[in-house]
């Protein structure tokens, strides 16, 4: 999917909502556990209930891998279900991968070719040759960690490197990499004041923003400082939507939460 | 497996060799491609040919994931084969994972519980709460990236952070984390002179060392600066051993390469 197609979808749906699919079998309605593939069936129900309100889905690979081969089958079925039924949706493999060049090429093959995701999240620690193999795929997007929403973000990401914070250096350096136009960045919503600084470095890039809702970030604050003329934001919500209820009404409640976010987004887009 | 058991195995085998299982279907003897599970069958042949010379095997998850569900099945069969037949061997899931707390817990579950690896490699960028969930598993080891062997290592890992290099800060900070006694570190062999500095920070930790052989690092140099009184090193070789030949003699040639390394190691241990 091209960036332009993503922007068009945002304008059409009046939404820049990404729904995170982090399925923990302990947190879904009990009746799913009797089905052959509870993870896929739960994801399918969430997708059916929210696909007109969201522009992106983000399966979190850890929550599939934890269930071994069965989990990987659920991941395959989930991405296929989205691609087959809602090809306009932008798909994100939240995998946080990154390794030396020939290994990163294999990860890129796994997520872009074998599973047909539009994008994958990667970690920056190993530098240029660990990320460029992902960037080489045309029509695919690589979403690199910049400033995350967890407490540990302050351990290394905000360290002072020659007068600026490490995450800023990561953003700046990545702009010089080959095919850097295929980069997006993860920026946590819990630190809305940082968006002004980040937009000085990457004014045009899309930012994937976790941390709104469950983790306490404010949608309006993030938009105020982080939005650009092409919107440039994908706001992720996982637990706030998919675990809105553990009862039979879970899908309705998930839709209600997604609708609330979409309506806030529409109001921001129209203001 | 406890660290003590690993040390005993090293002394008994007179080896601190780790064999990396990075199986690319384009690089293995053609007759494997006719089998139902070429990746597992190739790994099995390599393990059969080298298990008395190596103390650890390191399947690289990317090379399994690239083949989707079939690849994950090969990974499961490979780790089961090692655990069932050579329980003394230390197993490393080279996965470079790391994410917010509840996600890292799921990755830990995937590799430590579902697949029964002894250890997993992780990336440090997201800090303390992205690594501690791995450290919470008793008898399991978490091998964190410190200074890698690729060119991109110099993009961020060696940046100056308040007068010292970032990778040193990563090493120091990690020592304060809960259950940090379960940490080992990845340190590339291509920079042997760095080992002196690293040993000042983590004198007792095991270091997993890629980059000897194919990537140009010297075994004797690494041992000179990096070895401690419990050896404290696992030297990885992947391509140099598993792709020693693409012909019918691939297993013999792999054994010959492993034997060469084991003999060098025995000489160093006895000197």
Residue with tokens 């059916």: A48
Tell the residue number behind the tokens 């999240």, with chain if given: A121
User: Which residues 103-142 on chain A approach chain B with CB closer than 8 angstroms?
Assistant: 103-104, 106-107, 109-110, 114-115, 123-131
- Judging contacts by C-beta atoms under 8 Å, the chain A residues touching residue B169 are 156, 159
DSSP 8-state secondary structure symbol assigned to residue A110: I
Cα–Cα distance, A113 to B54 (Å, whole number): 34
| Choices 3.40.800.20, 3.30.300.30, 3.20.20.70, 3.40.50.10330: CATH for A3-270 | 3.20.20.70
Residue boundaries of the structural domains of chain A: 3-270
pLDDT for the residue numbered B264:
96
Residue A140 and residue A119 in contact, taking contact as beta carbons nearer than 8 Å: yes
User: Which tokens sit at B65?
Assistant: 């994931």
Q: How far apart, in whole angstroms, are the C-alpha atoms of residue B192 and residue B226?
A: 8
The pLDDT tens digits of the residues spanning A61-109 come to 999 999 999 999 999 999 999 999 999 999 999 999 999 999 999 999 9
Catalytic residue among A11, A70, A96, A128: A96
Taking only the tens place, the pLDDT of each residue in A103-146 is 999 999 999 999 999 999 999 999 999 999 999 999 999 999 99
Number of neighbours of residue B145 by Cβ within 10 angstroms: 26
Q: Which pLDDT band, with edges at 50, 70 and 90, does B214 fall under?
A: low
Residue B190 reports pLDDT greater than 90:
no
| Closest chain A residue to B124, measured at CA | A125
**Residues within 8 A of B (CB atoms), A 158-197 only:** 159-162, 166, 169-170, 173
Can you state the angle between helices B68-85 and B38-50, rounded to 10 degrees? 30
C-alpha distances in angstroms, B251 versus B43, B54, B245? 10, 14, 8
**Cα separation, B85 vs B172, whole angstroms:** 38
Searching chain B, which residue's CA lies closest to the CA of residue A98?
Answer: B96
| Residue B73 near chain A (CB below 8 Å) | yes
Query: Which residue of B101, B107, B150 is in closest CB contact with A129?
Result: B150
Of A69, A114, A155, Cβ closest to residue B128: A155
Closest residue to A62, CB basis, from B99, B129, B154: B99
The ipTM, to two decimals, is: 0.97
Closest CA to A102 of B30, B25, B24: B24
Helices assigned H by DSSP within A136-206: 153-156, 166-174, 194-201
Mutation target to probe the A interface, by most A beta carbons within 10 A, among B60, B93, B99, B157 is B99
Helix runs in A114-176, H state only: 128-135, 153-156, 166-174
C-beta separation of B155 from B128 below 8 A: no
Lowest-pLDDT range of A41-50, A210-219, B92-101, B206-215 = A210-219
A161–B161 CB contact, under 8 Å: yes
């Amino acid at each position: 999917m091209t960036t332009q197609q993503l922007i068009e979808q945002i304008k059409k749906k009046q939404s820049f909502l990404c729904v995170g699919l982090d399925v923990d079998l302990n947190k879904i309605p009990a009746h799913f556990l009797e089905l052959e593939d509870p993870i896929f069936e739960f994801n399918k129900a969430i997708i059916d209930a929210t696909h007109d309100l969201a522009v992106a889905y983000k399966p979190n690979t850890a929550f599939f891998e934890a269930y071994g081969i069965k989990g990987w089958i659920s991941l395959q079925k989930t991405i296929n279900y989205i691609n087959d039924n809602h090809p306009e949706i932008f798909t994100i493999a939240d995998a946080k991968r990154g390794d030396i060049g020939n290994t990163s090429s294999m990860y890129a093959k796994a997520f872009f070719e074998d599973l047909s995701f539009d994008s994958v999240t990667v970690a920056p620690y190993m530098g240029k040759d660990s990320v460029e193999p992902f960037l080489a795929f045309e029509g695919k997007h690589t979403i690199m960690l910049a400033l995350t929403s967890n407490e540990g973000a302050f351990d290394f990401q905000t360290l002072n490197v020659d007068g600026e914070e490490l995450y800023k250096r990561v953003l700046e350096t990545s702009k010089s990499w080959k095919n850097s136009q295929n980069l997006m960045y993860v920026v946590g919503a819990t630190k809305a004041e940082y968006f002004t600084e980040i937009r000085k470095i990457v004014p045009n890039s899309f930012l994937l923003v976790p941390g709104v809702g469950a983790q306490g970030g404010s949608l309006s604050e993030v938009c105020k400082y982080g939005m650009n003329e092409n919107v440039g934001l994908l706001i992720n919500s996982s637990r706030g939507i998919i675990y809105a209820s553990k009862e039979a009404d879970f899908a309705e409640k998930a839709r209600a939460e997604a609708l609330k976010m979409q309506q806030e987004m529409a109001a921001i887009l129209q203001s």
